[in-house]
């Protein structure tokens, strides 16, 4: 039995190598996953929110959504009811920061997509300022729009 199991494992290694060689979407054997925003969020111990959670939060209105994208991107399209707090102009946004800090609702931060780290940086910054319950929707606008979900902004009109 052990011999058979080891043989199957050996065959699997060969199959993995062969399939990855000929596969049009073959993976590099080593990839820099550590630089992904999601890995950084886990490292920073910031909670992650999935799309299915977002849909639930949208329905029950239990979360404050904060858009960390630049103002012009927010103006084009954003999640329904989201507050704009661009990370790149944070120093000029003290009123919005105060609004988020004063809110007793848990806050979900998002930005343009999984490659964008503004939402995470903003979440970490506001947590340091005293915002207790912060989470990040890593998929951001990219995932939201790819699922053809409702948005607000100029692009909608």
Partner 1 sequence: MRKKKPVVDFKKAINMEYPTEYYVALVLGVFFLIISCTKILHPHVFATSLFRSHLMPYPMVNIAALLFMSLEFVAAFAVVFMTKWRRAGLWILLGLMVVYTGCVMTNLLRDINTICGCFGSHARMSPISRWTLVRNFAVIIAGLFALRGKSI
User: Please, what is the minimum distance in Å from the beta carbon of residue 98 to partner 1?
Assistant: 28
147 binds partner 1 (CB under 8 A): yes
Of 4-12, 61-69, 91-99, 126-134, which part binds partner 1 (CB under 8 A)?
A: 4-12
Pattern 14-43, binding to partner 1, x per CB under 8 A?
Answer: -xx--xx--x-xxxxxxxxxx-x-xx--x-
Tokens of 17: 């190598």
**Sole binder of partner 1 in the list 75, 133, 143, 152 (CB under 8 A):** 143
47 binds partner 1 (CB under 8 A): yes
Q: Which string of b and e fits 3-41 if b means at least 16 CB within 10 Å?
A: eeeeeeeeeeeeeeeeeeeeeeeeeeeeeeeeeebbebb
105 binds partner 1 (CB under 8 A): no
**CA distances for 18 relative to 23, 50, 59, 81, 105, angstroms:** 8, 34, 47, 50, 52
Q: Cα(113)–Cα(117) distance, rounded to whole angstroms?
A: 9
53 binds partner 1 (CB under 8 A): yes
Nearest to 123, CA basis, from 112, 111, 136, 113:
136
Of 6-14, 67-75, 78-86, 88-96, which part binds partner 1 (CB under 8 A)?
A: 6-14
97 binds partner 1 (CB under 8 A): no
Given the DSSP bridges, would you call strands 134-136 and 83-84 parallel, antiparallel or unpaired? unpaired
Footprint of partner 1 (CB under 8 A) = 1, 4-5, 7-9, 11-13, 15-16, 19-20, 23, 25-34, 36, 38-39, 42, 47-53, 55, 135, 139, 143, 146-147
């Amino acid at each position: 039995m052990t011999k058979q199991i080891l043989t199957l494992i050996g065959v699997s290694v060969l199959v993995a190598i062969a399939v990855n060689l000929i596969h049009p979407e073959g993976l590099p054997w080593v990839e820099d996953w550590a630089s992904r925003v999601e890995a950084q969020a886990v490292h920073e111990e910031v909670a992650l929110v999935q799309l299915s959670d977002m849909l639930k939060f949208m329905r029950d209105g239990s979360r404050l959504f904060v858009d960390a994208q630049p103002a012009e991107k927010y103006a084009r399209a954003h999640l329904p009811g989201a507050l704009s707090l661009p990370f790149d102009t944070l120093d000029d946004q003290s009123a919005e920061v105060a609004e988020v800090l004063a809110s007793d609702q848990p806050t979900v931060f998002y930005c343009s997509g999984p490659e964008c780290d503004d939402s995470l940086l903003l979440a970490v910054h506001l947590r340091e300022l005293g915002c207790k319950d912060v989470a990040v929707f890593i998929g951001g606008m990219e995932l939201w729009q790819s699922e053809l979900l409702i948005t607000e902004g100029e692009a909608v009109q």
